[in-house]
Amino acid sequence: MEGVSFSLDDLPLRDDLRGLAPYGAPQARVPVALNVNENTHPIPDDVARDIVESVARAVLEVNRYPDREFTPLRDALAGYLGHGLTRDNIWAANGSNEVIQQLLQAFGGPGRSVLGFPPTYSMHSIIAAGTGSRWIEGVRDAGFAISPETAVAEIRRHAPDIVFFCGPNNPTGTPLELETIAAAYDATDGIVFVDEAYAEFMPTGQPTALTLLEGRPRLVVSRTMSKAFAFAGARVGYLAAHPAVADAMRLVRLPYHLSSLTQAAAVAALQHADEMLAMVDDIKEQRDRIMRVLTELGYEPWPTWSNFVLFGGVDDPGDVFRRLLEKGVIVRDLGIPGHLRVSAGTEAETTTFLDALRDIRLSS
């Protein structure tokens, strides 16, 4: 309305949300976007055809509500994960962020607290705030690690209702030891949540938190199809846990929260898991290449088990970010002093980034 001055501050917003900022990853359109840890590889043509055909069949029935229990998808996800899991152990939602939101709606909320270990995935604290859960910042060890002793000490210090881990950690790529998860579980009567969005990029054969689920009904492990499956735009996240956890999620989910089209696309993609995961090997190769060249250029990349590299030794991160952007490459300035983060892209994208950074380095 013209002539009326009105802003967010004038609305009767919840007091605990005042002053907060929304998730703010830049969405600049540039030739090489390596800032939000997407899988930049295109979906193979034959896989894309099967997904389109599956979605087309689902479109013929969109006049009806979708399968509220998304049973074929849960079966497919359980089969993909293995470890003796069945559909009863699986829950899915519109991206792992919605999985986290539902988890906090069920087990967090006003009067309850969530312990996290920054620097970590920024949406953890944002979703905690959105659900009225109190976010507590724990400390990490040197090198962004979390030892079992540190985790237990922080749990005893804060007595949280929920403990959040991210492994491999975003934005650092740091591995998370299984001993840390197990020790944290034994130290609390609450929920222990492990965000494994980047699990497929771990070293081949490396055990994940899924191996700890047996006998630990309060342990929850989340995954996503956004990264390894190049499915970021489809918004499919999921968790594995004791069946009672899925029952808790049913209490807070919106009715028919996963559309028929989403379910159809995800099931079709999972039928091509081997082909989709072949991209992961190439991404890991480009990630390791980035590590080598950054070291040669005098930067300090952190060890990573993810599809991105956090690197230090950047005198002016803001300036380097802007100069890369001018060259058509966007990375991520996370506000960590002296650091930037870059996603591993295709070979061509990685070459463009490394050449641009080399030019900037030599001209400094």
* 164, 130: one domain: yes
Distance between CA 358 and CA 295 in Å, rounded?
11
Domain at 171, CATH number: 3.40.640.10
Task: Give domain status of residue 186, yes or no.
Answer: yes
Task: Give domain status of residue 315, yes or no.
Answer: yes
* 243, 358: one domain: no
Task: Give domain status of residue 22, yes or no.
Answer: no
* 206, 354: one domain: no
* 34, 52: one domain: no
* 69, 207: one domain: yes
Q: Which of 212, 239, 271 is the last residue of a domain?
A: 271
* 202, 348: one domain: no
User: Is the Cβ–Cβ distance between 35 and 47 less than 8 Å?
Assistant: no
Q: Which domain holds residue 308?
A: 28-44+274-363
| pLDDT (0 to 100) of residue 2 | 57
Task: Give domain status of residue 19, yes or no.
Answer: no
| pLDDT (0 to 100) of residue 64 | 97
Please choose, from the candidates 168, 162, 158, the residue with its C-alpha nearest in 3D space to the C-alpha of residue 127. Answer: 162
pLDDT in tens, 37-49: 999 999 999 999 9
Task: Give domain status of residue 71, yes or no.
Answer: yes
Distance between CA 53 and CA 47 in Å, rounded?
10
User: Is the Cβ–Cβ distance between 96 and 197 less than 8 Å?
Assistant: yes
* 314, 241: one domain: no
Residue-by-residue pLDDT tens, the chain, 364 positions: 455 788 888 899 998 888 888 876 666 789 999 999 999 999 999 999 999 999 999 999 999 999 999 999 999 999 999 999 999 999 999 999 999 999 999 999 999 999 999 999 999 999 999 999 999 999 999 999 999 999 999 999 999 999 999 999 999 999 999 999 999 999 999 999 999 999 999 999 999 999 999 999 999 999 999 999 999 999 999 999 999 999 999 999 999 999 999 999 999 999 999 998 889 999 999 999 999 999 999 999 999 999 999 999 999 999 999 999 999 999 999 999 999 999 999 999 999 999 999 999 988 7
Distance between CA 175 and CA 280 in Å, rounded?
17
Q: Which of 251, 271, 291 is the last residue of a domain?
A: 271
| pLDDT (0 to 100) of residue 4 | 72
* 59, 169: one domain: yes
* 230, 294: one domain: no
* 226, 264: one domain: yes
Q: Which of 239, 271, 303 is the last residue of a domain?
A: 271
Task: Give domain status of residue 12, yes or no.
Answer: no
Task: Give domain status of residue 301, yes or no.
Answer: yes
| pLDDT (0 to 100) of residue 116 | 98
* H-type alpha helices, the chain: 45-59, 71-81, 96-107, 122-130, 148-158, 178-187, 243-250, 260-270, 273-296, 317-326, 347-363
* 227, 253: one domain: yes
pLDDT in tens, 172-226: 999 999 999 999 999 999 999 999 999 999 999 999 999 999 999 999 999 999 9
C-alpha to C-alpha distances, 53 to 59, 136, 142, 226, 353, nearest whole angstrom: 10, 46, 50, 20, 36
User: Is the Cβ–Cβ distance between 292 and 98 less than 8 Å?
Assistant: no
Q: What is the DSSP string of 15-67?
A: GGGTT-----------SEE-SS----SPPPHHHHHHHHHHHHHHHTTTTS---
| pLDDT (0 to 100) of residue 272 | 96
| pLDDT (0 to 100) of residue 20 | 82
Domain at 33, CATH number: 3.90.1150.10
Indicate the number of domains in the chain. 2
* 39, 86: one domain: no
